Chains A and B, each alone.
Chain A
């Protein structure tokens, strides 16, 4: 497996008044190019913290993160982020919001016409060609999140980072956007890391699902490879036993095995059957 994103012995510690607080410890994860990874875990387990570390918005207190062979020392447009609350600039139209990103990344070598074409095609990709010149407050929450995705994809990032991208949306809109993300990522082959707390979303979209134990001092409890073939269809999957097994495995982890793996125990015994029944589905550490 080509290791495109490498996370090695990462620890994140905060100094609080009550002494040091360890949010993450011993995080080891290798991600291949073009892979879709989901980070799942209970609220406050540090999955967004881990995503911020990959984005470079925060620096780990220990360990190292690499992207395409280079250490991540800060944020950069090679790792685009789709924020949970879309983070569109309210004084710019959808087009201007995306253009700001496109101009930054491609402005050096392309004419304004080319930059505008890129912006338009990114917005068309998410089905927002018609609402290009509207302000964020004139469009719905789902549409805003599409613009956020368009802004991230327009700069052709090496890695796409999604922080609970559909968490604030109603379930119908969420399903629609998941399908679109599935379609887009399968055509762009962008390496994607998504934070989510939605089990179905994780199974539908991911190649592998990284399950984090509860904080404090959260770490990777288990990694579940999703053996489902692509293209995937939401309805067809419902009757697929492998899909059901994946769901059961994650739910089992989240409800029973969410405590950190005990040292010296040689990894906890799985209380579920891995759908792919591969040995690599045991703990990553």
Chain B
């Protein structure tokens, strides 16, 4: 039947029913998954005395999040401040990495000679563990905070360089032929052809980079101390407050997930195939 001639009442009702069914289908998986996680946690907490149970962790979390932005001096800050401190470092290190990595990726992808020069170096440096860079940062900057940002910079730059360069190499030859036939200027080629075509690849790199940056910052803060989620987690370990350690783990996971969702939404907006 032609959709235009279909009675609208039935269509609307059907649509509601279908929508509800789809929502239930979408939620079922995650709900079961998290229920299993809680179950495993509960079983472990029953077996091992030192691990607090989920139901005793929840009130502790409530205590923490009731007033996330209190400030009782540098060693006793609310969890909100610690999250913001970590996010601030990630933002700074990541922005620097993007500012260097994305243009470098474009150059490597576009100029074969640069690719030959940089590819082996990147292959060598990329697998280096994030924390291996930290002492070098401490030596260079003589301070903990810039060293942590340095570690984020150096670890989150590679996915952006590699994915951007890969995207540039994968620009369809058809599009480049259009540019060649028209003798477009390099600037026009960049803004009208390379950039829109590479954006999806670039955003994949950005998402991987943010993921890496978030992994690195927690580890770096454990070593550099001061503020941040990593420091807080280590501090709670020193206090033997296991409930808060578990809360920290969940908070780190949640923030990382939110960062990724945010970038995924941004990537969808920038992708010409889905715009």
Count, chain B residues at interface, CB 8 A:
17
Does A100 reach chain B (CB closer than 8 Å)? Answer: yes
Q: Do A100 and B177 have beta carbons less than 8 Å apart?
A: no
Does A9 reach chain B (CB closer than 8 Å)? Answer: no
Q: Do B193 and A89 have beta carbons less than 8 Å apart?
A: yes
Once the chains are docked, how many angstroms separate the CA of A87 from the CA of B193? 12
Residues of A within 8 A of B273 (CB): 90
Q: Given A83-B177, A100-B188, verify A91-B182 contact (CB < 8 Å).
A: no
Contact mask B183-221 → A, CB, 8 Å, 1/0?
110001000110011000000000000000000000000
Q: Do A91 and B174 have beta carbons less than 8 Å apart?
A: no
Q: Given A87-B175, A100-B188, A104-B188, verify A55-B196 contact (CB < 8 Å).
A: no
Does B272 reach chain A (CB closer than 8 Å)? Answer: yes
Interface size class of A (residues with CB under 8 A): 20 to 34
Question: Which residues of chain B (151-198) have a CB below 8 Å from chain A?
Answer: 174-175, 177-178, 180-184, 188, 192-193, 196-197
Once the chains are docked, how many angstroms separate the CA of A92 from the CA of B174? 15
Q: Do A100 and B182 have beta carbons less than 8 Å apart?
A: yes
Contact mask A48-90 → B, CB, 8 Å, 1/0?
0000000101000000000000000011110111010101011
Once the chains are docked, how many angstroms separate the CA of A81 from the CA of B173? 14
Does B4 reach chain A (CB closer than 8 Å)? Answer: no
Residues of A within 8 A of B275 (CB): 91
Does A123 reach chain B (CB closer than 8 Å)? Answer: no
Which residue of the partner chain B has the closest CB to A103?
A: B188
Residues of A within 8 A of B192 (CB): 89, 92, 100
Give the one of B174, B178, B273 with max A CB within 10 A.
B178
Residues of B within 8 A of A83 (CB): 174, 177-178
Which residue of the partner chain B has the closest CB to A148?
A: B178
Does A101 reach chain B (CB closer than 8 Å)? Answer: yes
Q: Do B193 and A77 have beta carbons less than 8 Å apart?
A: no
How far in angstroms is the closest Cβ of chain A from B271?
9
Partner among A57, A85, A89 whose Cβ is within 8 Å of the Cβ of B181: A57
How far in angstroms is the closest Cβ of chain A from B255?
32
How far in angstroms is the closest Cβ of chain A from B178?
5
Residues of B within 8 A of A90 (CB): 272-273
How far in angstroms is the closest Cβ of chain A from B93?
31
Partner among B177, B183, B272 whose Cβ is within 8 Å of the Cβ of A87: B177
Which residue of the partner chain B has the closest CB to A82?
A: B181
How far in angstroms is the closest Cβ of chain B from A48?
12
Partner among A74, A85, A92, A104 whose Cβ is within 8 Å of the Cβ of B182: A104
Residues of A within 8 A of B197 (CB): 91
Which residue of the partner chain A has the closest CB to B199?
A: A91
Q: Given A83-B174, A90-B273, A91-B275, verify A77-B181 contact (CB < 8 Å).
A: yes
Q: Do A87 and B196 have beta carbons less than 8 Å apart?
A: no
Q: Do A57 and B177 have beta carbons less than 8 Å apart?
A: yes
Contact mask A3-24 → B, CB, 8 Å, 1/0?
0000000000000000000000
Question: Which residues of chain B (235-275) have a CB below 8 Å from chain A?
Answer: 272-273, 275
Q: Do A104 and B183 have beta carbons less than 8 Å apart?
A: yes
Which residue of the partner chain A has the closest CB to B192?
A: A100
Q: Do A75 and B183 have beta carbons less than 8 Å apart?
A: yes
Once the chains are docked, how many angstroms separate the CA of A90 from the CA of B197? 9
Residues of B within 8 A of A75 (CB): 177, 180-181, 183
Interface, chain A (partner B; CB < 8 A) = 55, 57, 74-77, 79-81, 83, 85, 87, 89-92, 100-101, 104-105, 155
A-B interface, 9 closest residue pairs, ranked by CB to CB distance from nearest: A91-B272, A91-B196, A87-B174, A75-B180, A75-B181, A104-B182, A81-B181, A87-B178, A101-B182
New A-B pairs, 8, CB < 8 Å, besides A91-B197, A104-B182: A55-B181, A57-B181, A74-B180, A81-B177, A83-B178, A89-B178, A101-B182, A104-B188
A-B contact pairs, 10 of them (CB 8 A): A74-B180, A75-B180, A77-B183, A81-B177, A83-B174, A83-B177, A89-B175, A91-B197, A92-B192, A104-B188
